[in-house]
Structure 1
C-alpha cells in the first residue's frame, strides 16, 4: 500500500514522459519509498515531494531545495577495466544561512558518501570554519568486466522551510591516474581535497611519491591509501588509514608494492583548516564555542610526481661501499704493523751485532756493560746498591741509546723503579714537611713528568682500567632500553602510518624490512668498525709494553710518557657505542630520543680531554667515578635544555652561572695541580691571594704558561655562556657539544704549542695523522651543517630541508657526515696515541709537565 502510494506520488510529480524504469532506478525508487515510510512525510498536512532527474556530466544544475521537496540526480557512466576515470562532484550553496545546511548524499556501487553544505570543519580548540564551496572525488569500485555501466545518485535535501539555492556539477577527471616520472599539477583546499590513483608498472616494486608546492602555507596533509571505498579525504579523517604526513613545501613517502595487494594506491592531498601543525601562527581563540570563523582563501597549488626508487643492486653497492671504506683501514693497519715489525727485527739484529762486536775485540770497557745475571747477583749478595745512574749509563752506552738489561732477580728492577718514583732525602731538610712532599713538588716552577708519576704503576693501571669497565657497564645498561624503545617507535610508525613521528630525510630514506631509513643506519657502521680497530691497536701496544716491562726494558721503565691504556680502551668503547646509539637514533630520529645520538659524544670529548691531561699528570688525573659523574651532569643538563630551555630565561641564567662557576673551579684545579680545597674559607683565601700577589706586591703569576691557558679558556667559556644567555639557541644539545669541543680544541692546541716550545718534536706518523684528521674534520663539518632535517621544528618544516641522495643514489649528506666523522674521530684517537712517541727514549725527569 505504501509502495503503491509512493509510486503514484513519484509518477505524479515527475515531469516529462514516463521514464524507462531499469533495475537501478527501481532500486532507487524503492529506497526513497522506504525512507518516506520510516521517516514520515513531515508535519501534518504537508507533503514531501521527491523529484528524480536524469542528469548529465559537465552540466551545472541551479536548483532550490526546501524541507518539502527532495531532489535526486541520476547519473550513469561506463567503467572500463583497463581505464580508470575519476568522477568529481562540485557543490556551491548560494544562500548564507548556516542554521539548516543542505545534505548531499552520493549513493554508488559499494559506497555512500554524504556531506553537508556549508561544510563545517573543526580546528584546534574545536574552532569551526564554514565552507560554502565543496568538491569531492568519488571512489572507483573495481570491476571485473571489460566494460560496465555503473549508476550513482546524488540526493539533495534539507530541513529548512525556506528555499536554499545551490549549484551542482558532476565532472569526469580525465587525468585521474598518475604516470611514472610525469609531474601532475592541481589545486586543493580544505573543502575541496584531491586524490589520484597510481598503478605499479611492471618491474617496479618501490616508488617515491613526491609532493611539492611553492607556497609554504596553508598547511596540508599528504596520504597514501589503499584502493577502497570510502576514501578518507577530509582534515578530520585523513589519518584514519594508510600513511600520511604534514607538509608545507615538500613531502615524500616511499611506497612498496608488497604493502598494496591491488598493486595500486591513492595519493590523497588534503589542505588543513589551520596551520599550527606546520608551525604556522596560532589564530585567536573564539569568544563563543559556537562561533564560526571565516577561513579565508586557503587554496594551494601542488605538484605531485611519482618516481621509481632504487633497486636491490643499489642496496648491495651501498653496503659493499660502506664495508670497503672501513675494511681498508684494517688492511692499512695490518700493512703498517707488518712493516713496523720488520723494522724492529732489523733494529734488534743491528743492536745485537753492535753489542757483540766489542766483546769479540776484547774491549774491557764495553765488556763490563755486558755483565751476566750472575755478576749482578753477586753485587746484590755483597750488599752493594745498584744506582739508577749506573744502570742508565750502562743502558745508554750503545750508539742508538737503546738496550736491554737482563736481570734474573726482580729486586734490581724494583730498586730502580723505587729510586725514580720517590724523592731522595737530600732534596729536603729535616723539617716535618717531608710528609707532604707532594705539596712541595707541585709548587716547583718547572715540573717534570717524573714529579707527577710517583705513584705505583700497578695502582695507577688499575685506577685507569676502571674507566674501561665503567663505560662498558654503562654501555650495556644504556643500550638495551634504547634498542627496545626504537623498535617500539618503528613499530608504531609502521602500524599507524604516521610519518610525522620520525624526522627522516624522506627524499633519501631507503627502507629495508621494517626499517624506514636503512641507509642512515648503515652509515654508522664506521664508528663500530673503527672503534674496534682502535681497540686492537691499543691492545697491541699494551701487549708490547707489558713484554718490555717483563724483560725490564729501560725505556719502558724509566723513559717516555707513562703508559696507561685504560682511557684508550674507554675511548675506543665510547666510539663503538656512539655508532650503535647513533644507529638506534636514526631508526626514528625525533624530539624524545635525541640524547641517544649525543650522550657518547659528550663522553668522547671528556675522555679525550682527560687523556691529554693524563699524559703529563698521571698521578693527579680524575678518577673514573668523578669523571663519569661530571659527564652524567652534562647529559642531565642536555636533557633539561632541550625540554625546558627554549625561551626559558630562568633556565639559561641558572645554566650560565653553573657554566661559569664550573670553569673557574676547573681553572683552579689545573693551576694549582689539585693542591687546593673547596670549603667555607675558599673566598677568604681567594681574596688574600689577590691582595698579597696582585695588589700589594704586583707580582705576576708563578705559572705563566698555565695562566695563559686558563685565561684563554675562561674567555672562551664566558663568551659561550654569554652567547647562550643572549641568543638562547634552540638546539641546546649541539650548543652544549660545541662547548665541549671548543675546550678540547683549546687544550689540544695548548698541548701542541707547549710540546714544541719544550724542544720536543712530532714524529712523521703523528704529523700525518694530525694533518689528515684536520682535513677530514673540515669536510665532515661541511656536510654536518647541511641540515637535512631537524627535530627543533615541526615535521612539515623539517621536510623543507630534505634533499635527494648525493652518493651512489643511496647515501645523503648526513650519511657522508657519518662516514667522515667516524674516520676523523679514529684519526683523532691515533693522534692522542702517537703524538708523544718521540719521548719513548727520553728520561721522565727531562720531560716537562705542562
Structure 2
C-alpha cells in the first residue's frame, strides 16, 4: 500500500511539472493547416507541436515541404525542429550550420526540407505528422513555419520541371519507371555555372540524404556547374522508382571555383552570401537493346569489311599472277620476257644491269653484270653463292659479330658510311639471317611488354569500375555522360566497343605482313634474284611490332575508357608513343638496314619517354623546374640524335668529343668555310631541330596541362617531318610511287583529317574538375549510340592501319631495282 501511494505521488508530481498551469515548460499542440504561415515564439519554457494530416494515395504521390525562417537576429541557442512521420523522423536546427572545405562554417537562417514519402499499400490512407519546435534559449526566439504541398513532386517522362535550390533548401523529386522503360537518363541543367551543385539518385527510402554533408552517403551522385546527367537502370531499384536529389554546395572549390579565405578564428561563422540556383530537371528514356545490337553490328561491319576488301584484293592479285604464269606457255614470248616472268631479271628498271642475251641467265652472268656497275656507285662485287650460302643453317648459331660481310678492302666501315653519295647496297651488307634475328627481337620484346603492361592495367581499371559502382561517385570517371551507355558493370560500353577497330585492323595488318613474309621466304628458297639483290631489304620484325602495338593500343584505350581520368591517361598514350617510335625506326630502316637501332636501345628510349610522361602528369602542372629540365633534355636529345644521323653512327660520345667538335668548327667553318658534305641530311636535321626547339620553347612558355598529349604531339610532328622528307627525297631520286601506295597515302590523309576534326571536339577533359568537364558533354551523333570520340576511335584506327600500309607498300616500285641503284637519304 505504501508503495502504491509513492508511485501515485510521483505521477501527480510529474503531471504537475508538465502541466500548462504550472508554467514551467509548457507543451502546446496546435492543429495546423497546409499552405499557412505561422509566426510564433519559442523559449526553453515552452514547446510547440504542430499537427498536420493529409491523405496518401497508392496511385499518387504528393510531396510535403517544411519551410522555416528564423526572425530573431541573434539567438543564444538554435531552435530544434523535429518532424515525426509514420515511418520516419526528420530533425534539423535553425540557424543551420553547414561546413565547407577546411571546416569553414556557414550559417543559414532559412531552411526548407522536403519530407520523404514512403509508398503505401492502401488505396487511400490518412496519415498524421507532427512538427515539434523547441529550444534551450531562455529568451524568446521568433520564427516562421510553413508546410505546403509540392507541385509536380512526381516527375513526368520527357517533361522539364524548373525549381530553385540553396544549400539550406535542397530539393528532391520522385520518378516512377513507366511500363516498357528499363533505362532512363536524368538530366539537370542550369544557366549559371555557380554556385556548385550536386545531383544525386537515391532509392525510395527514409531519410533522404539531401544536405551537402550527407548527400554522398548513398546512391549515385555527381557535382555540376551547368550540366549533369546520370543513366539509371530499373534493375538497380526494386521499387521501380527513385528520388532525384539536387543540393547546392556551400563552396565552389569542388566545381573549380575560387578558393575562399580561411576564417580568422576557428569557430567564426561565415556569411554564405546569395547561393540560390535555378535548375531544370528532365527524365528521358535511354536507348533499348535494339540500339545496342545495331551499334555492335555497325562496329563489326565496318572493320570486317576491311578483311573482305583485303581478301578480294588478294584474290585479284593471285589471279593476275596465274595469268602471268600462263603467259609462260606463249610460244611467241621472247627469252627475256620468259626470264622476267620467271623472276630471273628486273623488268622495267634494268639500268643496264641485265642484258637480254639468251634464253637463260646463269648466276655467273648475273654476277658479272652486277660487277660491271660498281665503278660509279662503289658497289662491292659479291657472288650469288656468297649471298645465299648456308641459308638453311640454324639462326641460333649465328651472331652479329662472328664475321663481317664487308670485303677486305672495305673492312673499315668509315670508308663506306662517310661517302658523299650512299646506296642501299652500301648499308645492306650484313647477313640477312643476322638482321632478321635482330629485327624479330622487336616483335618478341613488344609482345612481352604488352603482357606485363596490360595485366596490371586490366586489374586496375576493374577496380576503378568497382569503386564507381559501389560508392556511386560519378566524379571518379570523366565520361561523356550524355552519351554513356552502360552494359553490365561497365558504365560506358560504347566508348569501349569503339576501340575494337584497333584490335581487328592490327590483326589484319599482321596477317598482311605474314603473307608478304611467307612469299619473300619462298622467293629466297628458290634463289629469286629479285629477292636476293633487288629492292629495299625485306625485314618484317618491325612490321610485326607495329601491328602488335596497334592491337595493344586498342586494348589499353578500351581499358582507359572503362574509367577515364588523369591518373590512368598514360594507359591510352603509352603505345601511341611506341607506334610513333616504331614508324620512325621503320622509315629509317628502309634505307639503313645495317645501322638501325637495336630493339633494346629503342625500347629503352621509349621507356624514358613514358617515364617523362608519368612525371609530367604528376608534377608538370605549373612546375617551372620540371619544364626547364624537360626542355633542356629535349633539346640535348635532339642534338645528339641529329649528330648520330648525320654521321651515320660514326662518332663517339667520350672525353674527346669537345676537342673533335672544335676541330670540325675550325676546319669547316673558320679555315676554309666549306658547306655541309651531306646536304640532304643537313636539311632534314636543321628542319627537325627547328621544329623540336620550337616545341620545347612552346612547352616552356605555355606549360600545357595535358603533358601526355604534348609529348605525343612531339613524336607525331617528328614522324610527319621525316615521312614528308622521305617522300620528297624518293621523288627527287627519280623513284615513283605505285598506284596502291598512292591510293593508301591519299585515303589515309583524308581519314586523318576527319579523325582529327572529331578528336578536337573535346567532349570531356580531365584537365578540369569533373563538373567543368561535363560542360563539354554532348548527345550521341551516330545511331544514338556513338559520340564524337567514338567516331575518332573508328577513324583513327582506320587511319593508323592506312599509315602502316603506306609504310609497307611505298617502296614496292623498287622491288625490281638493284640495291646499288637505290639511294640512301
TM over 0.5: yes
Pick the aligned partner of 2:650 from 664, 675, 679.
Answer: 675
Counterparts in 2 of 1:175 and 1:4: CA distance versus 1, 3 Å: farther
- The corresponding residue for 2:316 is 339
Structure 2 residue aligned with 1:312: 289
- Residue aligning to 1:17: none
- Structure 1 contact 124–274 (Cα < 8 Å) conserved: yes
| Mapped contact 1:387–1:416 kept (Cα < 8 A) | no
In the alignment, structure 1 residue 386 sits paired with structure 2 residue 364: yes
Q: 2:63 aligns with which of 74, 86, 97?
A: 86
Render the CA deviation track for 1:376-408: whole Å, top value 9, x for unaligned: 7xxxxxxxx9364347699xxxxxxxxxxxx9x
Instruction: Note the C-alpha offset of 1:369.
Output: 4.3
- Secondary structure of the 2:364 match is coil
Contact 2:20–2:26 (8 Å) recurs in 1: no
CA positional deviation for 1:638? 0.5
Cα distance in 1, alignment partners of residues 822 and 309 from structure 2: 32
Which residue, out of 360, 373, 382, partners 1:370? 360
Shift of 1:141: 2.0
1:724 aligns with 2:699: yes
Q: Is the 8 A contact 2:336 2:358 kept in 1?
A: no
Q: Which residue in 2 is equivalent to 1:189? A: 166
- Using the alignment, how far apart are the partners of 1:552 and 1:815 within structure 2? 48
Distance 1:596 1:354, change over 3 A: farther
What is the CA-CA distance between 1:217 and the residue it aligns to?
0.4
Q: How does 1:254-269 map onto structure 2 within 5 Å?
A: 254-269=231-246
Q: Map of 1:476-495 to 2, 5 A cutoff?
A: 476-495=451-470
Query: In 2 relative to 1, CA 46–612 (structure 1 residues): closer, same or farther, beyond 3 Å?
Result: same
Is 1:109 the counterpart of 2:86 in the alignment?
yes
Q: Which of the numbers 461, 465, 474 marks the counterpart of 2:436?
A: 461
Q: 1:156 to 1:287 in 2, by over 3 A?
A: same
1:580 is matched with: 555
1:703-743 Cα distance to aligned partner (Å, 9 max, x none): 00000000000000000000000000011000000000000
Pair 1:358–1:236, CA change in 2 (3 A): closer
Contact kept in structure 1, 2:17 and 2:24, CA below 8 Å: no
Q: In structure 1, what is the equivalent of residue 380 of structure 2?
A: none
CA distance in 2, matches of 1:199, 1:120: 34
Aligned to 1:177: 154
- Describe the superposition over 1:309-328 as per-residue Cα deviations: whole angstroms up to 9, x where unpaired: 00000000000000000000
**SS at 2:73's partner residue?**
coil
Contact 2:336–2:359 (CA under 8 A) maintained in structure 1: no
Which of 248, 258, 280 is the aligned partner of 1:281?
Answer: 258
Query: Which residue does the alignment assign to 1:787?
Result: 762
1:133-144 equivalences in 2 (<5 Å): 133-144=110-121
Deviation for aligned residue 1:9: 7.1
Q: Distance in 2 between matches of 1:613 and 1:678?
A: 22
Paired with 1:410 and 1:252, the residues of 2 have a C-alpha distance of 73
Aligned-CA RMSD value: 2.2
2:817 maps to which of 836, 842, 847: 842
Which secondary structure does the structure 1 equivalent of 2:41 belong to? strand
> For 1:215, which of 192, 200, 204 is the aligned residue?
192
After superposition, the Cα gap between the structure-2 partners of 1:3 and 1:554, relative to the gap in structure 1 and judged at 3 Å, is: farther
CA shift for structure 1 position 4: 5.9
Q: How many residues align?
A: 780
Label 1:10 to 1:480 Cα distance change in 2 as closer, same or farther (>3 A): same
How far residue 123 of structure 1 moved from its aligned partner, in angstroms, is 0.4
Distance 2:668 2:327 in 1: 57
Residues 411 and 829 (structure 1 numbering): CA distance in 2 closer, same or farther, change over 3 Å? Answer: closer
- What do residues 323-349 of structure 1 show as CA deviations (whole Å, max 9, x unaligned)? 000000000000000101111121223
| Alignment-derived partner of residue 19 in structure 1 | none
Which consecutive residues of structure 1, in runs of 5 or more, have no partner in the other structure? 14-44, 377-384, 395-406, 429-433
Tell me, yes or no, if the aligned pair for 2:480 and 2:777 is still in contact at 8 Å: yes
Equivalent residue runs for 1:325-336 within 5 Å: 325-336=302-313
CA pair 359-241 structure 1, distance change in 2 beyond 3 A: closer
Match of 1:35 in 2: none
Give me the whole-angstrom Cα distance separating, in 2, the residues matched to 1:170 and 1:691: 94
Residue in 2 that maps onto 1:439: 414
How far apart are the structure 1 equivalents of 2:634 and 2:334? 64
More displaced stretch, 340-349 vs 144-153: 340-349
Q: Which residue does 2:327 correspond to in 1?
A: 350
TM-score normalised by L of structure 2: 0.92
C-alpha deviation, 1:803, in angstroms: 0.3
Of 43, 53, 57, 1:76 maps to: 53
Partner residue of 2:375?
Answer: none
Task: Decide whether the 8 Å contact of 1:10 with 1:51 is kept in 2.
Answer: no
Matched ranges for 1:235-250 at <5 A: 235-250=212-227
Deviations 1:399-441 (A, max 9, x none): xxxxxxxx9x967843999xxx95556xx5xxxxx541x1110
Please give the alpha-carbon distance, in whole angstroms, between the structure 2 residues aligned to 1:285 and 1:793: 24
Distance 1:649 1:201, change over 3 A: same
Q: What is the Cα deviation at residue 687 of structure 1? A: 1.9
Q: Superposition pairs for residues 453-602 of structure 1, below 5 Å?
A: 453-602=428-577
CA contact (8 A) 1:386 1:412 kept: no
Counterpart CA distance in 2 for 1:311 and 1:138 is 34
| Aligned counterpart, 1:634 | 609
1:386 is paired with a residue whose SS is helix
Conserved? CA contact 2:387–2:532, under 8 Å:
no
Q: Which residue of 2 aligns with 1:231?
A: 208
Task: Supply the distance in 2 between the matched residues of 1:774 and 1:745 (Cα, whole angstroms).
Answer: 11
Contact 1:763/1:837 (CA < 8 Å) preserved in 2? yes
Note the C-alpha offset of 1:695. Answer: 1.9
Identify which of 735, 738, 741 aligns with 1:760: 735
C-alpha displacement of 1:46: 7.2
Is the 1:245–1:251 contact (alpha carbons within 8 Å) kept by the matching residues of 2?
yes
The verdict on how the C-alpha distance between 1:359 and 1:455 changes in structure 2, with shifts beyond 3 A counting, is closer
Residues 18 and 24 of structure 2 are in contact (CA less than 8 Å); yes or no, is this contact kept in structure 1? no
Distance 1:610 1:360, change over 3 A: closer
1:15-59, CA deviations, whole angstroms, 9 ceiling, x for partnerless residues?
Answer: xxxxxxxxxxxxxxxxxxxxxxxxxxxxxx971111111111111
Q: Secondary structure at the match of 1:209?
A: strand
Q: Secondary structure of the equivalent of 2:38?
A: strand
Aligned residue runs from structure 1 range 156-171, under 5 A: 156-171=133-148
Q: Report SS of the residue matched to 1:552.
A: coil
1:99 Cα deviation after fit: 3.6
Match of 2:796 in 1: 821
Q: Is the 8 A contact 2:617 2:706 kept in 1?
A: yes
**SS of alignment partner, residue 239 of structure 2:** coil
Q: Is 2:53–2:128's contact at 8 Å kept on the other side of the alignment?
A: yes
| CA–CA separation in structure 2 for the residues paired with 1:117 and 1:51 | 20
- Give the C-alpha shift of residue 213 in structure 1: 0.3
Whether the aligned pair in 1 keeps the contact of 2:19 and 2:26 (CA below 8 Å) is no
Contact 2:162 2:279 in 1 (8 A): yes
**TM-score, length-normalised on structure 1?**
0.89
How many angstroms apart in 2 are the aligned matches of 1:355 and 1:488? Answer: 73
Q: 1:360 to 1:656 in 2, by over 3 A?
A: closer
